[in-house]
Amino acid sequence: MHTLLTLLVAASIQPPSLSAPYRQPQLAVGGGQVVLAFGAEKSIYFSSSVDQGKTFAKPVKVAESGALALGRHRGPRATMLNDSILVSAVIGAKLATGEHSHGLSEAGDLTVWRSVDRGKTWSQYGVVNDAAGSASEGFHSIAVDSQGNLHAAWLDLRTGKTQIYGARSMDGGRTWSKNTLIYQSPRGATCECCGPSVVTAAGEVFVMFRNAMNGSRDMYLARSTDGVHYAAPQKSGMGTWKIEACPMDGGGLAIDHGQPVAAWRRDKDVFLTRYGQAELRIGTGHDIAVVSGSKGVYVAWTGEHGLEIFKPGAAKPMPLSPVGAFVNLVVLPSGGVLAAWEFNGAIHTARVEP
């Protein structure tokens, strides 16, 4: 029988006021630090741990804006470089108005901040999208390759229809390349509110996104050998999800043994798939995160009875927490995994042993 061993609830990071709850935690690790980026209303926050996630420092405010894209997998991301830490988020000068504004900015830009003192202080460092305001939907992902180059992908609205755009930075995020159209659906728009994922491996860049085509909302994977030119994306899995609506759930992407491995939702089911292979059903739920460690692939999601996690070698998922939402995962240097999620206005974490 497989058991889940959670060493401890490493932290419960409480906001100063429940009127501005902490939301959408995103983890990263590097340079002896485990870091968290998250948001609260119009502010971006950062916290870090130097004991592999057992404790976290008091949050530091990275920036405040007129409008911060937050909620439903939006929000800030942290990226670790050799000489600095980057935090990225979509911000704008003012909130959009209208029935479907969802608290987003009227004209949002994917913006990067940099810290060279391990997260104590921050400075704005660059803007990724080269069409002003085109990142307003708020969904993005950034990864760093083995050469230290950054690769970003986001939902872009420069044409008025949702497309997948990307850019590359070769100077640590200060400047970004001319934006690349990674994919445009034949129907004109991809799925409107499912965030993309970016990972790198062995000189290749992989971008996963949810498409909208022929009445289906399925996951697709695009790959590039230079981070600029992308081959035609390939559909993930053999089945399809016939739904004329956006599930707002883009799944997760990781690298395992040099190849992309993805976990995503189709209807009420959670699937795990490898590039070019059939999908494997591993549970029921939504809002999925995936990482790959030395023991294999871990997948976490929101299930019927709280947060669940599927561990390497397990026959079925196991409980992670009875409450919480929007779980995120990172592999620790020790070989375990740290999970973070939001609940009741705070950020909670738990350490899971392999």
Q: Tokens standing for 42?
A: 């119009």
Report helix, strand or coil for 206.
Answer: strand
347 Cβ contact list (under 8 Å, min separation 6): 11, 12, 13, 22, 25, 36, 38, 47, 340, 341
Order the strands of the 286-293 sheet from edge to edge.
286-293, 296-303, 306-310, 318-321
Q: Which stretches in the chain have pLDDT values below 70?
A: 1-10, 99-101
Position 101 scores a pLDDT of 67
List pLDDT tens digits, range 165-205: 999 999 999 999 999 999 999 989 999 999 999 999 999 99
pTM as predicted: 0.95
Q: Using alpha carbons, list the distances in angstroms from residue 71 to 37, 74, 153, 168, 198.
A: 13, 5, 18, 26, 19
Order the strands of the 23-30 sheet from edge to edge.
23-30, 33-40, 43-49, 60-64
- Please answer whether residues 289 and 329 qualify as being in contact, where contact means their C-beta atoms are separated by less than 8 angstroms: yes
Q: Using alpha carbons, list the distances in angstroms from residue 222 to 123, 214, 229, 234.
A: 32, 19, 10, 6
Pairwise CA distance, residues 54 & 60, whole Å: 18
Q: Does domain 23-255 sit in CATH 2.120.10.10?
A: yes
The length of the chain, given as a count of residues: 354
Pairwise CA distance, residues 216 & 266, whole Å: 10
Position 100 scores a pLDDT of 64
List pLDDT tens digits, range 307-350: 999 999 999 999 999 999 999 999 999 889 999 999 999 999 99
**In the chain, where the domains are located:** 23-255
